[in-house]
Amino acid sequence: MSEAAERPMAAESKGEAPARGRLKGRRILVVGGGQDERDDPDPPMGNGRAMSILFAREGARVAVADRDESSARKTADLIVTDKDCVGNATMMAADVSKPADIKQMVRQASEIMGGLDGVVYNVGIGGGMGLEGSTPEIWDRVFAVNLRGAMLTLQAAMPLLADGSSIVLISSIASMKPGSRMPSYDSSKAALAGLMRHAGLEGERRGIRVNIVAPGLMDTSIGREATRGRPNRAKTPVPLGRQGTGWETAYAALFLMSDEAAYITGQILAVDGGMTGLR
Give the catalytic positions in this structure. 185
Q: How close are the terminal C-alpha atoms of the chain, in Å?
A: 15
CA nearest to 150, candidates 109, 108, 207, 198:
198
Q: Report the C-alpha gap between 85 and 60 in whole angstroms.
A: 9
CA nearest to 125, candidates 148, 92, 107, 108:
148
Q: What are residue 31's DSSP bridge partners?
A: 65, 121
Backbone angle region of 182, left / alpha / beta, with phi > 0 → left and psi within -120 to 50 → alpha: beta
Report the length, in residues, of the chain. Answer: 279
Go through 218-253 and write b for each residue having 16 or more CB atoms within 10 A of its CB, e for each that does not. bbbbbbbebbeeeeebeeeebebeebbbbbbbbbbb
